[in-house]
Chain A
Amino acid sequence: MYKLGIDVGGTNTDAVLIDENLNVVADIKCPTTGDIYDGILAALRTVLAQSGVDRSQIRQAMLGTTQCTNAIVERKNLAPIGILRIGAPATLGIPPMVDWAEDISKIAVGSAVIGGGFEYDGKQLAPFDSEAAKAFFLEMKEKGVKSIAISCVFSTVRNDHELEAAKLCHEVMGEDVHVSISSEIGSMGLIERENATILNAALWKVAERFTEGFAQSLADEGITNADVYLSQNDGTLMTMEHARRYPILTVACGPTNSIRGASYLSSLQNAIVIDVGGTTTDLGVIQNGFPRESSVAVTIGGVRTNFRMPDVVSIGLGGGSIVREHADGSVTVGPDSVGYEITSKALVFGGDTLTATDVAVRLGMFELGDPSKVAHIPEELAKKALEAIGTLVEDAIDSMKVSSADSDVILVGGGSIVLPEKLAGAAAVVKPDHFGCANAIGSAISKVSGTFEKLINYDEVPRDKALEQAKAEAIDLAVAAGAIRETVEIIEVEDVPLAYYAGNTNRVKIKAAGDLAGN
């Protein structure tokens, strides 16, 4: 049995095949195409031809894509939507989308804030105003809206009103209307959670396009025995059906997959991952085999959200970064880069710009292009540049650490060849094989997960018992998502005491993940 991993990036579509022992059988890169489908098809054909694998033996196919991120950032292909918030009389002071940029806020055809919602302890804030909900859905139906975003105050504590509204929405607008509810998408913080839900609602067409494009290309290539999955931003998988309903969860799966892929290729469960491209370097952290999540609000295309995202730091350093010598003798590298033009502009390729790649070739770190074209660069200058590169990366490594102890470092990405062999703050520096396709590999080896989050008063339910119950809930959620029960592990336990609350209230968050049920 084989797993197929595909990563559709802005520039390249990568494909890898992995056997049942998780060994990489083949990996290739093809250019991404405008309609996605052709790019995936080309990558599929090439990887199948290269490996000669029997396609009926491919039992799982995973896709990671930046399509949703790009749609939001470029404001393209977003669908018109309606926004229903349940929470009046609370929240009326902040209408939905109050701080959104004009060019993206026009996706909302209409919005309403109606009665309902809960208090922090699960007590009802106000009764659910089903008449007002019905009236809003009718209005949206008349205006031809096909997708609705529903949010509710403290729906992370209780989502009854959101579920009731979703049911009502289908009754009024028909079974085929797309309904997004906030409790399935974000965490505490109404506005950020609602924003993510709105984006999710607007992405249904984009989701339909890439899920169908992927399914179609698999069918065309005769891969008909495979279960098909999409990569999420937390390093786990979701089904095609789930991805159609919650496309927003694919946002930022690129860095996540590259972190997971790096971890797999290097067999390290705890390390800092450095992905060096042509222009920028992304640093992430792998913690017990999963990417560390960001604890601060994440902005996508100018919209503030709070859903699960990997904690990634980007610095302006890559293989194409421009190297400059200053009057005082100091040498700087980047943040500007020759980017994709490296094959014409770098000295080793006959160009006229001194880049990080040229420095590495001059110092004999690897062979590329024509080394004689950099022979005239003084060794002193090259060494200073390498030192500057080291300092940039070392500072970034340091800011990703959670303690002062040295951490293992994994290098991936085409540009990682320009980094020095020794880095301060790194216990060991590992450069694994197949490092160029870490993204697609990360996608292919993802697990499935479930997350449980609730406010619990430890005076009412003792901590041990509360955590035990929460863990059981999280495991059930992971199994519901497709994990084999026996392999499910608790991968994250968080309980945060909340100041000002009555008694001993804690926000408990548990995440469980396991291997995907095979065939």
Chain B
Amino acid sequence: MRKIGIPEVEDIATGAALLGAGGGGDPYVGKLVAIGAIRDCGEVTLLDPDEVPDDALVVPIAMMGAPTVLAEKAIGGNEYKSLYEMVSRFFGKKIYAFMPIEAGGVNSMLPIAAAARLGLPLVDVDGMGRAFPELQMVTFTIGGISATPMALTDEKGNTVIFETITNKWTEELARSVTMSCGGSVSVSLYSMSGAQMKKYGVRGIVTRSQRLGEAIRTVKNAEDPEKFFFDFTEGYKLFKGKIVDVLRETRAGFNFGRVVLEGTGECKGRKAAVEFQNENLTAEVDGKLVATTPDLICLVDTETFAPVTTDALKYGKRVIVLGLRCFEMWRCEAGIELVGPRYFGVDTDYIPLEERCKEVCLNV
């Protein structure tokens, strides 16, 4: 058990943006929502999963909708209380603690705000260990935990609880309500018991985000910043280069695209490309795949090591492409079926990062 205040929030936001693997949104507004809540209501207690009783009700909090709308409307502040009341009423049981559903700039921050405003603890766990584009892409799906009842509220006070027959229906119905409510809403889904959370959750994700953020903040003080960064993140250095082309396309509410890189420094004369659907899906060097989902493919600035999200890709930007091993549970058969390369239309078997990148990896 420990406390999270404003300095910790700053680091968590940066680290979570790295673990967003290109997606998860710009942490700025999310960070302000968390800071606003801590200013109003005080610091948040962070619990280790093992500190949560097995029969306790644990509820993830997230936002759904367009980040551009979130940047305009932010949140009202009462949403978390109404989610709390809806879910508690549904189960006839009080919520014990909140948790994030994914790591990523925005959704790592909102549960912190919820915990601050309700005076409840936050659990150091999530359901991805990174960010993914679709609602069913959580480790809890592997554990057979239902996304519903899913509670949704807007800042105006409209509330809905969804009980649906499949997660696809949840996604579809929730999307239309989100649009009617003005394009950005707060939700809770995958409510679960303490025991389920411990069994299927990605443990220590908040602390890991904070450590990563701290490392990025202090990297400039290191004698060899790049070595420090890679030692700290345990990342696989896949490529270093500059962006020479960015192709983008919006389809069915997702941002698809491909960024092409030309090597600099030790990679001079070589080429690389990263494909994305909100999050980075695959990385290739000289036409050969070197990493695929569910392993994390992250781009960082070569000077500041600040994470570069897919929205911020721009010609001329110099970046390092690194791979991070995904949460072990994603590597089982059910995990690969849910979030492996074939699900995203990439015709290749999943090969773990550490094997796939062996030939090109620059630091291991």
Q: Which of the residues A90, A188, A296 comes within 8 Å of B76, measured between beta carbons?
A: A90
Which residues, 463 to 519 on A, are CB-close (under 8 Å) to B? 497-502
Contact mask B64-89 → A, CB, 8 Å, 1/0? 01101101111111100000000000
Chain A CB count within 10 A is highest, among B37, B244, B250, B255, for B250
Closest to A304 in B: B28
Q: Which of the residues B33, B72, B244 comes within 8 Å of A153, measured between beta carbons?
A: B72
Q: Which of the residues A90, A120, A497 comes within 8 Å of B74, measured between beta carbons?
A: A90
Q: Size band of the B side of the interface?
A: 35 or more
Closest to A193 in B: B72
**Measured between alpha carbons, how far is A441 from B155 in the docked complex, in Å?**
51
Q: Size band of the A side of the interface?
A: 35 or more
Residue B143 at the A interface, CB < 8 A? no
Q: Which of the residues B32, B157, B183 comes within 8 Å of A99, measured between beta carbons?
A: B32
Verify B157–A191 contact, CB threshold 8 A. no
**Measured between alpha carbons, how far is A167 from B248 in the docked complex, in Å?**
44
**Measured between alpha carbons, how far is A88 from B65 in the docked complex, in Å?**
19
Verify B72–A154 contact, CB threshold 8 A. yes
Shortest distance in angstroms between A284's beta carbon and chain B's nearest beta carbon? 14
Verify A93–B66 contact, CB threshold 8 A. no
Residue B5 at the A interface, CB < 8 A? no
Verify B183–A119 contact, CB threshold 8 A. yes
Closest to B315 in A: A402
Residues of B within 8 A of A399 (CB): 242, 316-318
Closest to A311 in B: B314
**Measured between alpha carbons, how far is A499 from B75 in the docked complex, in Å?**
20
Residue A92 at the B interface, CB < 8 A? yes
**Measured between alpha carbons, how far is A190 from B71 in the docked complex, in Å?**
6
Residue A297 at the B interface, CB < 8 A? yes
Residues of A within 8 A of B35 (CB): 94, 98-99
Given contacts A88-B76, A399-B318, contact A93 B36 (CB under 8 A): yes
Q: Which of the residues A117, A120, A295, A296 comes within 8 Å of B183, measured between beta carbons?
A: A120
Residues of B within 8 A of A174 (CB): none
Residue B312 at the A interface, CB < 8 A? yes
**Measured between alpha carbons, how far is A381 from B33 in the docked complex, in Å?**
55
Verify A126–B316 contact, CB threshold 8 A. no
Verify A90–B253 contact, CB threshold 8 A. no
Residue B273 at the A interface, CB < 8 A? no
Verify A190–B72 contact, CB threshold 8 A. yes
Residue A38 at the B interface, CB < 8 A? no
Contact mask A395-410 → B, CB, 8 Å, 1/0? 0001111111000000
Given contacts A93-B33, A94-B32, contact A501 B76 (CB under 8 A): no
Shortest distance in angstroms between B78's beta carbon and chain A's nearest beta carbon? 7
Shortest distance in angstroms between B63's beta carbon and chain A's nearest beta carbon? 11
Secondary structure type dominating chain B contacts: mixed
Residue B204 at the A interface, CB < 8 A? no
Residue A413 at the B interface, CB < 8 A? no
Verify A190–B157 contact, CB threshold 8 A. no
Chain B CB count within 10 A is highest, among A89, A125, A190, for A89
Residue B29 at the A interface, CB < 8 A? yes
Which residues, 366 to 398 on A, are CB-close (under 8 Å) to B? 398
Verify B250–A499 contact, CB threshold 8 A. yes
Which residues, 289 to 312 on A, are CB-close (under 8 Å) to B? 295-297, 304
**Measured between alpha carbons, how far is A500 from B182 in the docked complex, in Å?**
11
Shortest distance in angstroms between B261's beta carbon and chain A's nearest beta carbon? 12
Verify A498–B66 contact, CB threshold 8 A. yes
Verify A400–B316 contact, CB threshold 8 A. yes
Verify B250–A91 contact, CB threshold 8 A. no
Residue B156 at the A interface, CB < 8 A? yes
Residue A95 at the B interface, CB < 8 A? yes
Closest to B32 in A: A94
Verify B76–A93 contact, CB threshold 8 A. yes
Verify B253–A500 contact, CB threshold 8 A. yes
Verify A497–B73 contact, CB threshold 8 A. no
Verify B242–A398 contact, CB threshold 8 A. yes
Verify B33–A499 contact, CB threshold 8 A. no
Closest to A89 in B: B76
Closest to A91 in B: B74
Residues of B within 8 A of A120 (CB): 66, 68-69, 72, 182-183
Q: Which of the residues B39, B72, B78, B315 comes within 8 Å of A95, measured between beta carbons?
A: B39
Verify B315–A403 contact, CB threshold 8 A. yes
Verify B72–A93 contact, CB threshold 8 A. no
Shortest distance in angstroms between A477's beta carbon and chain B's nearest beta carbon? 22
Verify B74–A89 contact, CB threshold 8 A. no
Q: Which of the residues B36, B77, B315 comes within 8 Å of A98, measured between beta carbons?
A: B36
Shortest distance in angstroms between B241's beta carbon and chain A's nearest beta carbon? 12
Contact mask B234-265 → A, CB, 8 Å, 1/0? 00000000101000001001110000000000
Residues of B within 8 A of A126 (CB): 156
Residues of A within 8 A of B36 (CB): 93-95, 98
Shortest distance in angstroms between A88's beta carbon and chain B's nearest beta carbon? 7
Verify A93–B74 contact, CB threshold 8 A. yes
Q: 21 A-B contacts, Cβ less than 8 Å apart? A: A88-B76, A89-B78, A89-B156, A90-B156, A91-B75, A92-B77, A92-B78, A93-B33, A93-B36, A95-B36, A95-B39, A98-B35, A120-B66, A126-B156, A153-B73, A154-B73, A189-B72, A190-B73, A399-B316, A499-B254, A501-B183
Known: A95-B36, A98-B35. 11 other contacts (CB 8 A): A91-B73, A91-B74, A93-B36, A94-B36, A94-B74, A120-B182, A188-B68, A497-B250, A499-B250, A499-B255, A500-B183
| B interface residues (Cβ-Cβ under 8 A, vs A) | 28-29, 31-33, 35-37, 39, 65-66, 68-69, 71-78, 113, 155-157, 175, 178-179, 182-183, 242, 244, 250, 253-255, 312, 314-318
